[in-house]
Structure 1
């Protein structure tokens, strides 16, 4: 009588080198994110400093960024007329909206005041300026 020998099955084992590679990749990715090496969306602005600035409480807010020749609403380029229309559309959802103006140091006061005046004329009473605490 013939008997066939059974093939020996290899014991399962975990490959450590690929797992270490993946873990190192994740570590590097999270370190770069936490150090802001990977840029966030939006324009880089240098906020003016104020000694009386305070942290904002959580609320529905819209961030308006002003540069010398550009206006953005939440990271999207817009004009002053489109800005007001977009804010009114957000406000129609039933909640009041807080508008935060993130203005660069080099923006003329005239442009800043005209944007604030236009927003207040269209019914936005909660308009704030973003500053950096000294």
Structure 2
């Protein structure tokens, strides 16, 4: 005599799917945070009442009060900056985000490095007065 076993219903496991969705969420958040230019820069930009909005830059050069030059969260010398800009091409848009306490000589040196690399589209980041 043969006994029939009851058929089991197929189950869809949700827990692995939720794990995958959380992994994707964390991945996209991390990628988005790395896409924000000069993220984590601790500087106070100088104010300007006549500043104009420019198109988004391709490279943001950060200059702090101590004269440290930073691009994409990497410290560079003026020579390394010029080489990197040369590799980008002449039509690259550059914005210099200098701290309010940065020395004028350091700003001029960064602008000279940009000009020696052939870059002519240079902007200086500012904030609105009172902001």
Q: TM-score range by the shorter chain?
A: 0.5 to 0.7
Pairwise mapping of residues 1-134 of structure 1 onto structure 2 (< 5 A)? 2=1, 4-14=2-12, 18=15, 22=19, 25=22, 41=39, 43-58=41-56, 61-67=58-64, 68-91=66-89, 96-133=91-128, 134=131
Query: How far apart are 1:41 and its partner, in Å?
Result: 4.9
Greater fraction of residues in strand: 1
How far the C-alpha of 1:118 sits from its partner, in A, is: 3.7
User: Could you state the TM-score of these two structures normalised by the residue count of structure 2?
Assistant: 0.67
Runs of 5+ in structure 1 lacking a partner? none
Provide structure 2 residue ranges, at least 5 long, that are not aligned to the other structure: none
Give runs of ≥4 in structure 1 deviating > 3 Å: 13-16, 18-26, 39-43
Question: Which entry has the higher C-alpha Rg, 1 or 2?
Answer: 1
The 8 Å contact of residues 46 and 100 in structure 2, kept in 1 or not, is answered as yes
Q: What is the aligned length? A: 121
